[in-house]
């Protein structure tokens, strides 16, 4: 059973607009959430994270929101740029256990 779900396999957004990537989880014990970005033929790279004691974390154009009651988090990219086109993975951890990853969402930013 998937503990971390990214229900949208793909998303297309126009350059300059907001991209919103969503992630749901089932394990209420998860206490850290991370987003990774992956370009073709490269390994995933860390983008942004949030602790379960917060509901928002911002880093430049990237903001992650956490709604613990709904077991939902989202990644907002504003404004979206063509270089943001990649696969985005949501991941979660409980204590020091290994990260659990979602299946990813492919974002295409159209110029």
Partner 1 sequence: NAGVTQTPKFQVLKTGQSMTLQCAQDMNHNSMYWYRQDPGMGLRLIYYSASEGTTDKGEVPNGYNVSRLNKREFSLRLESAAPSQTSVYFCASSEQRTGFYEQYFGPGTRLTVT
The footprint of partner 1 (CB under 8 A) covers: 6, 9, 31-32, 34, 36, 41-46, 49, 51, 89, 93, 96, 98-104
Residue 74 CB neighbour total at 10 angstroms: 16
Are residues 59 and 72 in contact, defined by beta-carbon separation less than 8 angstroms? no
The minimum distance between CB 27 and partner 1, in angstroms, equals 14
- CB of 34 or CB of 77, closer to partner 1: 34
The minimum distance between CB 15 and partner 1, in angstroms, equals 27
Name the region of 65 (left: φ>0; alpha: ψ -120 to 50; beta: rest).
beta
- CB of 65 or CB of 101, closer to partner 1: 101
């Amino acid at each position: 059973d998937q503990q971390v779900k990214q229900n949208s396999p793909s998303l297309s957004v126009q350059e300059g607009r907001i991209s919103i990537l969503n992630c749901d989880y089932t394990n209420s014990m998860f206490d850290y959430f991370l987003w990774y970005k992956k370009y073709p033929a490269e390994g995933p790279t860390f983008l942004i994270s949030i602790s379960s004691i917060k509901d928002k974390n911002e880093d430049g154009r990237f903001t992650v929101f956490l709604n613990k009651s709904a077991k939902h988090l989202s990644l907002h990219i504003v404004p979206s740029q063509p270089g943001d086109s990649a696969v985005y993975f949501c991941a979660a951890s409980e204590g020091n256990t290994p990260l659990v990853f979602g299946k990813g969402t492919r974002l295409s930013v159209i110029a």
